[in-house]
A and B are shown apart, each in its own frame.
Chain A
Amino acid sequence: MIAIIDYGVGNLFSLQSSFAAIGEEASVTGDKKVIEKADRLILPGVGAFGDAAAKLRDTGLDTVVKEQAASGKPLLGICLGMQLLFDKSFEFGEYEGLGLIKGSVKPIKDVIDPGLKIPHIGWNSLIFKKESPLFKYNENGDFVYFVHSYYAADCGENVIATTEYGAELTAAVADKNVFGAQFHPEKSGKTGLKMLKAFCEVQI
């Protein structure tokens, strides 16, 4: 069973439907016991980093996620959920993240041409940087759906894919059992469903 961690941000309906579409059982939950029992975890998120990090802390789920990740359970952070995996974010201030993957979250506008629109919204192609079990069913160049104004910087060796939008932006990261996708696999058509399927088959 997959636990989609519900800490009060965003709409988790499409994520749950995506897992149903690939025949996987997923439960939307904020219950520590259910999360501990799950085989895999999804950390979703939309909105602002500071708010989301505060909600995760207030619900006490930050500790649960860290413990579960440390135990080796596969974890996938999506969009803001990915950004929360890093050490810190500079979105409207400076906030601490979960520190599960090395890196920090910075504004896209600082690295791209001012003529380009922000947020980076729409379908863009993945540039694979490393082999990853997450990409088992995908191909280099596959299009996925992005919506974000901040990007993950200084992730070093943990970047597994980037995308080109005036600069090469981090699209996906991985460090052992912890994975992150800046894009929305649940909104990326068949390409995204394949990636969720691959995540369900990750063996650590």
Chain B
Amino acid sequence: MITKRIIPCLDVKDGRVVKGVNFGGLKDVNSPVDLAGYYSDNGADELVFYDITASSDGRRIFTDILKETARRVFIPLTVGGGINTLDDFDRVLKCGADKVSVNSGAIRDPGLIYEAAKRYGSQCVVLSADVKRVNGNFRVYAKGGRIDTGLDAIEWIKRGAGNGAGEIVLNSIDTDGVKNGFDIEMLAAVCEVVNVPVIASGGAGNIRHFTDLFKTLPKVDAGLAASIFHFGEVDIKDLKAEMKKNGIITRI
């Protein structure tokens, strides 16, 4: 049977990996190429690269880094950040990305998911949503979690999957950086409405958070995290051994 996936996420700015806590306070961690190669050789099932560069210079550096990374990495590679048009899809796919993740770009242009899925196939299009509770409702945030779009997250994600997004990355702003576990309630609400893979993001602080996630919500396909992997707080091999012990199907 198909395995649950463990996905390290690398936020890349000006050619370096950074990870903010609650989207603030960036800290330089490592070279993206070396880190990606390390993960590819040490049990990661997939990698996500987020380009958090704002300048065109930074974007050029990112594209070069991506090419170099794709040469070293033999597991699926998803790229996100700054994806606003089909040309952006083209740019990163040509550099070796396997999937492209859209977030704010899909909010600005709701036709983007449909057009991209038509051209590259649903398997290539990932909808990434930053979601936060506002007065008891789940709301979509844009611009790296800074702006409340007013969109209802459940409706938004359902529509995205309907338009052809082949996977959903659900990042809970409420649990991100808190290291107190994934946002089970929010994930359950999303799993209820879509029949494409859902990737949980935001809140993992230790191994048990992953085993709890997969045991509580068998419909979740993957767990994504960043700093706990980059800083060595959770070793992917230990994590997978523990998943296996808990009867969760995993690739060892």
Q: Which A residues fall within an 8 A CB radius of B? A: 11, 13-14, 17-18, 20-21, 46-48, 117-125, 143, 145-147, 164-165, 186-190, 192-193
Contacts and interface: CB of A to CB of B under 8 A. Distances in A.
Given A165-B1, A165-B2, A188-B74, A122 B94 contact: no
B239 interface: no
A11 B67 CA distance: 12
Contacts of A165: 1-2
A48 B122 CA distance: 11
Contact of B74 (A121, A123, A143, A187): A187
Nearest to A47: B121
B96 A123 contact: no
Given A13-B96, A117-B197, A18 B74 contact: yes
B166 A189 contact: no
| Residues of A contacting B: mostly | mixed
Nearest to B196: A117
Contact of B70 (A17, A46, A192): A17
Most buried by B among A14, A46, A122: A122
Interface of B: 1-3, 5, 40-41, 45, 67, 70-72, 74-76, 93-96, 98, 120-123, 166-167, 195-197, 221, 251
B75 A122 contact: no
A28 to B, nearest CB: 13
State the main secondary structure of chain B at its contact with A: loop
Nearest to A21: B74
A122 B71 contact: no
Nearest to B67: A13
A20 B70 CA distance: 12
B36 to A, nearest CB: 13
Contacts of A187: 74-76, 98
A146 B221 CA distance: 14
A192 B74 contact: yes
Nearest to B3: A123
Given A17-B70, A143-B251, A145-B75, A122 B2 contact: yes
A13 B70 contact: yes
Nearest to A20: B71
Contacts of A145: 75-76
B195 A117 contact: yes
